[in-house]
Structure 1
């Protein structure tokens, strides 16, 4: 066209006369316009499409490889807080947030149009988004009248297939589009519903276990690491000797998981406690060893501490029967340390439930952060994003 000073550098993706099917309708490309924002160097192309069945016009716009199908809307919409940077449009239970305001300049055009394309340069454009949709308000500041359009995001693959284009003809998609759906948009509600349901099942199952098999304390006994007699059933041993502390007997209703909680008062000391659980009828034993140590001090004016005065162990699948414990405490010679031992049955294994919940949250968590970063990147391209209010 002779009306443009510069020749078109980038050839259009869709050629005049090309025919393609989108959203169930067949369209012919009858024109295209290259535009840019007045304030910024951002450029995009708009393709004029003619519906061959109805004779109506729609547009297919592309910016940085992101495509939008644009249709005129009859009647228009009401803008809430129109003079605010938080302006919005609310319709059909959907809130459209202000994304961009600008004026445009026509850089190049070719084909046929049913309006004077240069009148577009007189309009004030406002874009409101609710991905994958956009509402576009074109307002004439002289007449105060507005025309509205609704845009729908179209995947590049859909455009390529509709117009039977070679892959190399498609523009490279850059960044995040204004109304590009977030990753996993279609499956996100189902994923969240499924995740919350499974989390509820895990919590309820854990609660049922507590109700059906309540926790029961089988033994709570104190003794010392030096030779002493606590009662008729317990004989304490010297540290490192071959003597053994034999605890009181207790009944186990199995198969059950037993938890052993060991505690001692340590002050820059260590204590090793081998424990053997013995079935008094069969003689079968189950062993474990725990080491307690607690050290602390001050170095270069800073206090420090390491170790712990308590530890616990779990033995699972213990059969029913009468049991006692053989304990062989070992510590530094001459030290007399108190030791408290508590044995419980049916102790709720909260760690298992927590582990299942963490595993359940991995994929939704990954999707959440992907969607969060997607949304954050989307609004970085806007002068009206949430980050602008911070």
Structure 2
């Protein structure tokens, strides 16, 4: 057991290796039961009478540790001393990682686990007392301190190389480990055979630069990160969770702005004109132009033009010129109306519409009229829509507009000021949602890449 409840690190002691007589430094001499000779790799056991016996031969380490044995650093408010270095792998697989055993004179042992350049600080209930209340129920998730941890992997850990000192027979022990992730945290359950209950440990993803600074180590010595760590935090997730709560607020603000604008400047009709028009026999596909009655705008406004014509398997094109009667400033728009229908293969079909909308924005205050220049296709069309309730203009003869009159068409033009433009609302909402959607996509893609290394990926069904 680690020597704890002290005010400082205990004095280090040197012991001689029973095999090669090399001096071995113990940084927690009272708490260490096992150690490894750096010179001959003997795994040494200290018996009850402090006799050093060679228990077995340890395999040499493959990599030199980044944090040297005996180095001291301040981390999470605790002083830690590196007293051991262990290389492990998953039994029956090629996954390998490294662990640095940390000793604190107040609490006991913790460690840094490093896999593919991803570092995690791992400690037990001595540092996180709430871990002592958890029970292993074999579920695929665990709730701990308001976070839900999801099952990520299960494996048996095997020690392949080590140096330093330990308070348990680490070479003999092969714990069955289960990992649950809730980035940047990870929960470990280690169950050693012949023990009744598993031990819980909490890990937290740690940036290499933080460790290098704490232990005064050159960051260039740290291994390069590969891929995404099991509990590596996602900056995309952080952005998404910061943004998605704002989406309802954005929608509400847009709605308030839209309805507020319609309340301050309500929509009103400035022209409602229906006109029976005659074909210009001197020009193909054209009708005689006409001028609408005048109307007035009291202030700068947007204008919405709705042009209707009961075309039937035909088309109509109208050039509408808005003219300011004071200075002759004009705005010209051209719109086409097409409507076709029929029966093909026993099924009816239709396409097009008998009306069109045009929007002009920021029209100055003033008195206006419209110059209308119609053109159309062949004469075999319906002359009028009986629902329009056409009233001829003063001075214009009441022309018969029954269906089949090949010389007459009816154009109905309705003009409203300050229209509520819902298209602007939806376009604005779509543009404002682009970044949240992009952030969500990046977060989801990041999580899919994380779970590629798991046998319990929630994304497997989508592959």
| TM-score (normalised: structure 2) | 0.71
Distance 1:119 1:5 in 2: 11
1:364 maps to which residue? 436
- Quote the offset at 1:70 in angstroms: 0.5
3-state SS, counterpart of residue 124 of structure 2: strand
Distance 1:248 1:4 in 2: 106
- Quote the offset at 1:99 in angstroms: 1.6
Of residues 68-77 and 32-41 in structure 1, the stretch that sits farther from structure 2 once superposed is: 68-77
Equivalent of 2:169, from 93, 96, 116? Answer: 116
Aligned: 1:215 with 2:267: yes
1:250 maps to which residue? 295
Once the two structures are superposed, the pairs formed by residues 72-111 of structure 1 within 5 Å of their partners are: 72-73=124-125, 74=129, 76-79=132-135, 82-84=137-139, 86=140, 88-111=141-164
Aligned: 1:200 with 2:256: no
Once the two structures are superposed, the pairs formed by residues 3-42 of structure 1 within 5 Å of their partners are: 3=56, 6-42=59-95
* Root-mean-square deviation (Å): 3.4
1:68 maps to which residue? 120
1:320 maps to which residue? 365
Structure of higher RCO (CA pairs closer than 8 Å, 6+ residues apart): 1
3-state SS, counterpart of residue 259 of structure 1: strand
3-state SS, counterpart of residue 41 of structure 1: coil
- Quote the offset at 1:313 in angstroms: 1.7
Residue 271 to residue 139, structure 1, CA distance change in 2 (3 Å): same
Give the aligned length.
378
Determine which structure has more spread, i.e. the larger CA radius of gyration: 2
Distance 1:224 1:164 in 2: 91
3-state SS, counterpart of residue 362 of structure 1: helix
Equivalent of 1:346, from 393, 418, 422? Answer: 418
Equivalent pair of 2:320/2:333 in contact (CA under 8 Å): yes
3-state SS, counterpart of residue 316 of structure 2: strand
Once the two structures are superposed, the pairs formed by residues 160-309 of structure 1 within 5 Å of their partners are: 160-223=212-275, 226-227=278-279, 243-266=288-311, 269-293=314-338, 309=354
Of residues 29-38 and 151-160 in structure 1, the stretch that sits farther from structure 2 once superposed is: 151-160
3-state SS, counterpart of residue 195 of structure 2: coil
Distance 2:351 2:70 in 1: 78
Residue 226 to residue 238, structure 1, CA distance change in 2 (3 Å): farther
Equivalent pair of 1:225/1:239 in contact (CA under 8 Å): no
**Structure 2: 5+ residue runs without aligned partners?**
1-40, 43-55, 381-407
3-state SS, counterpart of residue 208 of structure 1: helix
- Quote the offset at 1:184 in angstroms: 4.3
| TM-score (normalised: structure 1) | 0.83
Equivalent pair of 1:4/1:108 in contact (CA under 8 Å): no
Aligned: 1:126 with 2:178: yes
3-state SS, counterpart of residue 379 of structure 1: helix
- Quote the offset at 1:304 in angstroms: 9.7
Of residues 261-270 and 93-102 in structure 1, the stretch that sits farther from structure 2 once superposed is: 261-270
1:156-202: per-residue Cα shift (whole Å, max 9, x none)?
A: 23223333444442212122211111124555444334454333222
Equivalent pair of 1:225/1:238 in contact (CA under 8 Å): no
Residue 4 to residue 252, structure 1, CA distance change in 2 (3 Å): farther
- Quote the offset at 1:96 in angstroms: 1.6
Equivalent pair of 1:278/1:284 in contact (CA under 8 Å): yes
Distance 1:103 1:41 in 2: 12
Residue 49 to residue 83, structure 1, CA distance change in 2 (3 Å): closer
- Quote the offset at 1:36 in angstroms: 1.0
1:335-379: per-residue Cα shift (whole Å, max 9, x none)?
A: 655433221211112233333322322322222111111122222
Aligned: 1:155 with 2:207: yes
Equivalent pair of 1:226/1:238 in contact (CA under 8 Å): no
Of residues 203-212 and 11-20 in structure 1, the stretch that sits farther from structure 2 once superposed is: 11-20
Residue 300 to residue 152, structure 1, CA distance change in 2 (3 Å): same
